[in-house]
């Protein structure tokens, strides 16, 4: 710990990031901390766990908590678990970032807003503002949404282009309590490398396999070993049916090869060393419908 952290006005606290699926919560957290600890994709329901992203500056430690998009469509055991993760995070935060997409506000957004406790400072973050051509139209939209709750601030941002993220961070800091840092100053997450490895493989499945692959696929790390600098990772992609297995493997294994290569490169970047990665695809049906199965795969 450096001396500056002993300063009396050092602040540290938890910042929940919530919103309906696909509004850019994980992209926002990664950009705020400057590292990719939470996976992202253009498909809804990418994030399935509570994931912490930590950033330490001279005068504050920001502990962001990325959450799954709140599910309102299907109600299986997985979705109930995901939603419980969101509600539990909300009650344990110093500040809440309520994220919506510029120009869009619907029932699913309102349902998340209804969950937010009245006594926690909440910032309305209007993401994907880069997509709005008519910038003047953003004002009335922001005012309409802002009227739905007593927000402490309204900040239009583009997580993708890093637009307004510094302003957002200064606003967040004003709501953090005066506390010494909880994590080390170089920590970027409280999740293990094994957990992050599984998430990286899952991201590549989401990205490389078309929309036809149901969201009920998951990844299990069967072995994670470190020898010096080298990490050896043995992963299994679990799918529901043989036809899904064929989709993941692709023609002559081409798709699985792409998944493996991209996952390995991301792991090497994040872990800062070489990675040996082997991936199998296994059929295991029904895991997302059953609470015991979910616990076995690390869902809280």
118 CB neighbour count, 10 Å cutoff: 7
20 assigned binding-site residue: yes
DSSP state string for 76-143: SHHHHHHHHHHHHHHHT-SEEEEEEETTB--HHHHHHHTTS-TTS-EEEEEE-GGG-S-GGGHHHHHH
Please give the angle made by the CA atoms of 290, 86 and 111, to the nearest 5 degrees: 105
Distance separating alpha carbons of residues 233 and 275, to the nearest angstrom: 7
Among 60, 159, 176, 247, binds ligand GTP (CB under 6 A): 159
Among 14, 40, 94, 245, binds ligand GTP (CB under 6 A): 40
Q: Which is closer to ligand GTP, CB of 132 or CB of 146?
A: 132
CB of 26 to ligand GTP, least distance (A): 3
**How many Cβ atoms sit within 10 Å of the Cβ of residue 48?**
23
For ligand GTP, the closer CB: 41 or 152: 41
* Under 8 Å between Cβ of 86 and 67: yes
Nearer to ligand GTP, 135 or 282 (CB): 135
Helix (H, G, I), strand (E, B) or coil at 182: coil
Q: What are the beta bridge partners of residue 258?
A: none
Q: How far is the CB of 199 from Mg ion (least distance, A)?
A: 10
- Residue 130 assigned as binding residue: yes
94 appears as a binding residue in the annotation: no
- Nearest Cα neighbor of 138 from 96, 101, 169 is 101
Residue 127 labeled ligand binder: yes
Q: Is the dihedral of CA 17, 18, 20, 21 positive or negative?
A: positive
User: Is residue 19 a contact partner of residue 25, using CB atoms and an 8 Å limit?
Assistant: yes
The listed partner (ligand GTP, Mg ion, none) that binds 81, CB under 5 to 8 Å by sort, is: none
CA 95 to each of CA 61, 178, 269: distance values in angstroms, whole numbers, following the listed order: 13, 13, 30
State the binding string over 111-150 for ligand GTP (x if CB under 6 A, else -): ----------------xx-xx-------------------
Nearer to ligand GTP, 162 or 269 (CB): 162
Copy the structure tokens of residue 9: 């006005």
Shortest reach from residue 242's CB to ligand GTP, in Å: 27
Q: Using the minimum distance from each CB to ligand GTP, give the nearer residue, 128 or 231.
A: 128
Of 10 and 93, which has the nearer Cβ to ligand GTP?
93
Q: Determine whether the annotation assigns residue 83 to a binding site.
A: no
Closest alpha carbon to 33 in 187, 180, 196, 264:
187
Partner whose footprint covers residue 22, from ligand GTP, Mg ion, none (CB < 5 to 8 Å by kind)? ligand GTP
Segment contacting ligand GTP by CB under 6 A, of 35-43, 260-268, 273-281, 285-293: 35-43
Which of residues 50 and 245 has its CB atom nearest to Mg ion in the complex? 50
Q: Is 19 annotated as a binding residue?
A: yes
Which residue shows structure tokens 């008519």? 134
Residue 191 Cβ vs Mg ion, minimum distance, rounded to whole Å: 14
55: partner contacted, choices Mg ion, ligand GTP, none (Cβ within 5-8 A by kind): none
Q: Binding site for GTP: which residues?
A: 19-26, 66-70, 127-130
Residues of the shown chain interacting with ligand GTP in the complex, contacts defined by CB under 6 A: 19, 21-27, 40-42, 44-47, 68-69, 127-128, 130-131, 158-160
């Amino acid at each position: 710990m450096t001396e500056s952290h002993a300063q009396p006005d050092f602040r540290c606290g938890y910042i929940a990031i919530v919103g309906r699926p696909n509004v850019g919560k994980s992209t926002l957290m990664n950009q705020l901390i400057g590292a990719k600890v939470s996976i992202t994709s253009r498909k809804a329901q990418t994030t399935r766990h509570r994931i912490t992203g930590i950033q330490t500056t001279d005068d504050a430690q920001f502990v962001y908590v990325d959450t799954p998009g709140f599910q309102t469509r299907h109600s299986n055991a997985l979705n109930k678990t995901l939603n419980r993760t969101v509600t539990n995070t909300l009650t344990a935060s110093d500040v809440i970032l309520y994220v919506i997409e510029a120009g869009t506000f619907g029932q699913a957004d309102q349902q998340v807003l209804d969950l937010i406790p009245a006594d926690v400072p909440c910032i309305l973050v209007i993401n994907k503002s880069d997509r709005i051509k008519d910038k003047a139209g953003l004002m009335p939209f922001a005012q309409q949404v802002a009227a739905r709750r007593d927000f402490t601030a309204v900040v239009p941002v583009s997580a993708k282009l890093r637009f307004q993220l510094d302003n957002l961070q200064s606003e967040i800091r004003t709501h953090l309590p005066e506390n010494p840092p909880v994590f080390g100053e170089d920590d970027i997450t409280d999740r293990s490398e094994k957990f992050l490895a599984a998430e990286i493989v899952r991201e590549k499945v989401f990205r490389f396999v078309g929309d036809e692959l149901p969201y009920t696929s998951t990844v299990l790390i069967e072995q994670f070993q470190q020898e010096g600098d080298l990490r050896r990772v043995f992963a299994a992609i679990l799918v529901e049916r043989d036809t899904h297995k064929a989709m993941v493997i692709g023609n002559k294994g081409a798709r699985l090869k792409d998944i493996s290569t991209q996952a390995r490169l991301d792991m090497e970047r994040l872990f800062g060393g070489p990675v040996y990665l082997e991936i199998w695809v296994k059929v295991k049906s029904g895991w997302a419908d059953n609470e015991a199965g979910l616990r076995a795969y690390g869902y809280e």
